[in-house]
Every structure is written in structure tokens, then in C-alpha cells.
Amino acid sequence: MAKNFETEQQKQHNIVIVGTTITGTVNCSGDIRVDGTLDGTLIAQGRVVIGPTGVVKGEITCKNSQVEGKVEGKVTVAELLSLKASSSILGDISTGKLAIEPGASFTGNCKMSSGAAANTAFSSTNDQKKK
């Protein structure tokens, strides 16, 4: 029974809709989509999607991410970071793999490392969150 609950919980998605502003730290055990504004830290165990109207001013740490909107701050992605043509990132990136579409804007430093090294950074962030 617990296994079914865990599976259902992992399939749930969180959404910050257009017109919503969140200030502070968001910890998410699954996936999250931001179409509004987040001013703070976003930590997600799953996938983070920053929609075309989404703005994040702060740090993002997650497993996978797709950015179509604007990010100002450090982005740490354990596996794949995908920057769409409409995306704008002002800050440093640390990721396992990076995909950039023509038209995307990125100003900062990029560190690409093997999955193990990126996962270690992701794990240490989660350990700090628990303390």
C-alpha cells in the first residue's frame, strides 16, 4: 500500500501560476513548473520547468531542468539542463549535460561534470536542507 502512495506522490506536479509571487525557499519532492515569480531558493527532487513567463531570482537545485523564462542566480542540475530559445540565465551553471537552443541567453560560468559529481552536489544540498 505504501508503494502505491509513493508512486502517486511522485507523479504529482507543483505549479506556480502566472501572477503568483513566492518569496522564500521552496522544497519540492517531485516536479515543479514556475510560470509566475519565485524570489528565493528552489530545491526539487525531480524536474524544474521555468515557463516562458516564469522568473526565478535565486538558486535552483534539481535533477533535470528546462528553462524558457528568466533565471537570475546559480543553477545546479544533476543530469540535464535544457535552455530553450526564449530563455535568459544570468548566473553560474553546474550540470551534468547542457542543451542550448539558438537564441538562448546565458551570462555566467558553466561547469559540466559527470553524473556522479553532479549528483554529489545535489545530495550535499539536500543534506544541508535536512539540518
Please, what is the average pLDDT of the chain? 85
pLDDT at 128: 52
Q: How many whole angstroms separate alpha carbon 121 and alpha carbon 104?
A: 25
Cβ(61)–Cβ(79) under 8 Å?
Answer: no
Q: Which amino acid is at 119?
A: N
**Degrees to nearest 5, angle at CA 61 with 23 and 51:** 65
Beta bridge partners of 71: 56, 89
The pLDDT assigned to 35 comes to 96
pLDDT value of residue 127: 56
Predicted local distance difference test score (pLDDT) of residue 120 = 47
Alpha-carbon gap, residue 39 to 67, rounded angstroms = 16
Q: Quote the pLDDT of residue 122.
A: 55
Q: Grid coordinates standing for 3?
A: 508503494
pLDDT at site 86: 97
pLDDT in tens, the chain (131 residues): 445 444 455 567 899 999 999 999 999 999 999 999 999 999 999 999 999 999 999 999 999 999 999 999 999 999 999 999 999 999 999 999 999 999 999 999 999 987 544 454 555 555 555 55
Contact between residue 51 and residue 33 where contact means Cβ atoms under 8 Å apart: yes
Sign of the CA dihedral 108, 74, 122, 4? Answer: negative
Query: pLDDT digit string (tens) for 93-114?
Result: 999 999 999 999 999 999 998 7
